Chains A and B, each alone.
Chain A
Amino acid sequence: MKLPMANRAGMRPRKRLTRLALGAAALGAALLVLAALPAGAATLTNLSWTVSNNQVSAASTSYSYSFKTTSANTIKSITFAVSGAGLAGTPTITRAYGIGAGTASRTGQTITYTVATAVAVPANIPIYIEFGGLTNSGTAGSYTTTITTLTAASGTIDNGTTPAVTLAANNTAVTVNLAKSLTFTVNTTAFELDMDPSLGALADQSATVGLTVQTNANSGYTLSVADAATGLQSSGTGNPVIAKVSTGKATSVAWPGAPGWGYTVTGTGATIDPAFSGSKYAGYTAGGETIATRAGTTGGTADTISIANRVAIDYTSPSGVYSDTVTYTVTPNYN
């Protein structure tokens, strides 16, 4: 039987629509399956795992992991499944970079870092997480960790396995405790100025004290200076003093001339207080004032700081022996 031509023509668009709908549904389903399948997960790159102590059963051990993401996605948690058995301890988070704040927990051989708020992480982002407070397995052998990044729905984003770490019972654990140290040197512990008001060269003299500071403190150090409360004072009748050129560094001045007692600071490595820029001089204070700082470790080269102590006298200065004690205090900063 032949169908009328008009009817066949009318059915063609309906068939096409049905085929299109079926095709779209199949494509959608395939995409959904692909997205949900762990087999579709990409492999993390640049994986590494280090342990702070590779003795079996060692407590308070840190595990440090680093890797790079391969897929751009929103990470809610990262699992670190250590091979074998016997992992123990309550993990703490010592450091985490490339990922948001979170919490650490352990169940059996798996340490889980759960991000507080799921964070969108692009591809090729370096992530570093260091856990503390772990106890190694009691069984010697070679171990690996499988790292898996997960979505909020626990779908695998990327995963990968670290190179092996060997836990051993017959090796020697080496622990080196490096103290926080500071060395402070002064090139002269006492000096004299033989002065005379009758000649300019003898009436205005300087003595330079050289200091060096070397430290491994990460936040550097603070150097301050103070003198005796009595200042530059004579033991003669009336205890005359040579006046300070200023009341402190806040009122530092260009050298004002005689009579005066003051200092200025220059240096390399350290940051010298700007009060001394332009060769300005300040008077010492009994309470002490910071004259130089450094914000980081000095490394192998010591900082050098030069303090030019200057005294100028005239005939208003009573003769006699004047004395003072200048104390330099250097303190490592906290970090």
Chain B
Amino acid sequence: MRFALVATVLATALAVASSATAGGSAKAVSGSRALAVSVPADPVPAKVGGVARTLIRVVNPNDFAVTVVIRSRTLALGDDGKVTVGSGPDPRWAGRVRFPGAALRIPAQSFRNVPLAIRVPHLSPDLYFVGFLVTPVATEGGSIKVVNQIGSFLTLDVPGPRLRLLTGHLHLPSFVLGSRASGDVRVTNLGHASVTMWGENDTTSSPGGVYQQERLGPSLLPVGRSRSIAVTGKPRWPVGIVTVTTRVTYPGRTAAATRELVLSRRVVVVSPWVPGAVGGLIGLPLATFWWRRRRRRSWPGASAAHHA
């Protein structure tokens, strides 16, 4: 950013004039820049002591060439799938994976496949993540530079039996004044290996409800991490008991067997207008009775006739 703090009146006037033409807005000194990074969707099989071969693709969709650097980075896997790229190289993969040392020039509207050979150390069977950062080299002028970089990761799958264990809690109220019961299931990986889980939310309601099965696609849960799954159930009538059952299924020691986590809860759901309607049904006759009684008392003729 340039601060043109001018000392002379003339310079100030020039600055004012300049802002008038620019509308007082910032001056972009360079245009847009797009960048894309692609990695294999599935984990790369990796044998302990062997070399896993894969590639990353850096795409330049711009009408001009872009120069990028690719560097190893640590990864912090958070809850609910969140990933944060660290500021330094990952020591686990130091010397085991070699990213391009020099900057890569990618021609306009083109891409570069960057092959990687990863030497797999002695690791227990699990999924492992190799993080990296693709950063465009800023060449533009301007005092405030804006860099759009992409962090990403490769997933390695070291095969073998694993100790997997999930736990979970279903958070649903017992009573809902509304049209539906809504809550979530919090699933946590307490095992010693990452888990790819899937599942279903089964809801039934009484009286007269229909069984509904909502399938949950596969999602990854690293060790010690949690994931929330939204659950919801709706009664057929304005008042009903909704039973929400969440089944989370995941592989056991091997993929030939599965384990499951079953969480269930019953919720009484009452539509908001029901209390009003019930109140009206009770209140209306009472009000009518009270009004008639009051009217009868306040009618002197009737009272006199009665007393006569």
Which residue numbers of A lie inside 8 Å of B, CB to CB?
90-98, 100-105, 116, 122, 124-126, 128, 132-133, 177-199, 201-202, 205-209, 211, 218-220, 222, 224, 232, 234, 287-288, 290, 293, 295, 309, 311, 313, 317-335
Contacts and interface: CB of A to CB of B under 8 A. Distances in A.
A107 B66 CA distance: 57
Contacts of B19: 194, 199, 201-202
Contacts of B15: 194, 196, 202
Contacts of A321: 1-3, 143
B292 interface: no
B39 interface: yes
Contacts of B129: 334
B188 interface: no
B257 A287 contact: no
Contacts of A326: 144-147
A334 B81 contact: yes
B171 to A, nearest CB: 18
A103 B249 CA distance: 12
B18 interface: yes
A177 B40 contact: yes
Contact of A323 (B29, B61, B144, B155): B144
A317 B37 CA distance: 41
Contact of A319 (B3, B41, B133, B150): B3
A328 B148 contact: yes
Given A93-B251, A103-B257, A183 B36 contact: yes
A183 B34 contact: yes
A183 B150 CA distance: 8
A303 B138 CA distance: 24
A195 B5 contact: yes
Nearest to A232: B1
Given A184-B149, A185-B148, A195-B4, 15 more contacts: A97-B215, A101-B249, A125-B211, A184-B34, A184-B148, A187-B32, A190-B138, A192-B143, A202-B19, A202-B24, A207-B26, A211-B148, A328-B148, A331-B85, A331-B153
A191 B258 contact: no
A189 B4 contact: no
Given A124-B211, A185-B148, A331-B85, A191 B142 contact: yes
B206 interface: no
A208 B40 CA distance: 34
* Chief secondary structure at chain B's binding surface: strand
Interface string B148-163: 1111110100000000
A93 B36 contact: no
A321 to B, nearest CB: 5
Given A90-B256, A194-B27, A321-B2, A334 B83 contact: yes
A232 B2 CA distance: 11
Contacts of B87: 287-288
Nearest to A180: B41
B114 interface: no
Contacts of A313: 3
Interface stretch (B99-107, B217-225, B231-239): B217-225
Contact of A91 (B2, B25, B256, B258): B256
Interface of B: 1-7, 12, 15-16, 18-19, 22, 24-41, 57, 59, 61, 77, 80-85, 87, 129, 133, 138, 140-153, 155, 198, 200, 211, 213, 215, 217-220, 222, 247, 249, 251-252, 254-260, 262
Given A95-B218, A184-B35, A202-B16, A192 B40 contact: no
Given A218-B217, A295-B80, A193 B147 contact: no
A264 to B, nearest CB: 15
Given A186-B148, A205-B25, A323 B258 contact: no
Contact of B1 (A177, A183, A324): A324
21 contacts: A90-B256, A92-B255, A101-B257, A183-B36, A184-B150, A185-B32, A186-B148, A191-B142, A197-B5, A199-B19, A202-B15, A202-B24, A211-B148, A319-B5, A321-B2, A324-B144, A325-B144, A325-B146, A327-B149, A328-B146, A333-B80
B84 A196 contact: no
B147 A196 contact: no
Nearest to B220: A334
Given A190-B145, A335-B220, A196 B12 contact: yes
A192 B142 contact: yes
A290 B76 CA distance: 13
Contacts of A202: 15-16, 19, 24
